[in-house]
Structure 1
Amino acid sequence: MKYLLMLAVFVLSLGLPALAEEEAPKLEEYAYYGFEPEIVTNYISNRKKLGFVRISVELMVKNPDDMVQVEKHDPLLRSAIIEILGNQPEEKIKSLTGREEIRRECYDAVNKLMEAETGKALVVNLLFTRYLYD
């Protein structure tokens, strides 16, 4: 009886790791593309002094192979982000909710441009890793 119990445990232990490997979901391989140098541009200021914003932007792509396409279109994407930032009022630049709206607008613009150039939206997320203003 002891022998049968040990044999059953042994047989089951051989099959369970194989099942666990088959059921384990594959982890996504995300990659990040950072614009170098940082983006620095002016924005619409309420004061007589010119306002500026300095940001670091990272684009998150789902497939690391898509990094080539993102890098190829870096100047186009950078230009779109600069244009969006330059058209923002001071209140929006300086508020947390405004910053999130700007980030979302940049994300949408970048994906629209990538879809026009490559046929698919490659960017999963757009992150501001540094956001300074004056």
Structure 2
Amino acid sequence: MPISAQETASSPSQTGSDHLPKEPPSISFSYGAVERHIRRSHPGCPDFAIAYMAQEVSQRKWEGVSLGRAVGITMDGILRHRMTDYDTLLLTGMDRKDARKRVQPKVQALLEVWAKPPRKVEQESC
């Protein structure tokens, strides 16, 4: 089943730039398609995070990436900036590459947890 996406091809300008290489078309992924992808690929992801990530991915125009790659880029960035001390490390003068390397294990651990179905919590009987 194809994932619904809306393609917007760039049109040649009026100045005769038909000879220039064309830019790849921009793609917008629908909120529903993104939400379904996240629920299927990241079943342990909390509902509030699914809603937030789906909104972020579906609001952007993407060039040359699949839905899965767009979700991965978005999740990685949001987790890095919101769930780690990445921004603080940058503000204290750490190089961007070193800061990413330092926080990547935490980002990866969160993604690994989300990749597994949530465990059922058993309630104790009285």
Instruction: Indicate whether the TM-score tops 0.5.
Output: no
> Hey, which of these two has a bigger chunk of strand by percent?
1
> Which structure carries more relative contact order (alpha carbon 8 Å, separation 6+)?
1
TM-score of the two chains, using structure 1 as the length reference: 0.30
TM-score of the two chains, using structure 2 as the length reference: 0.32
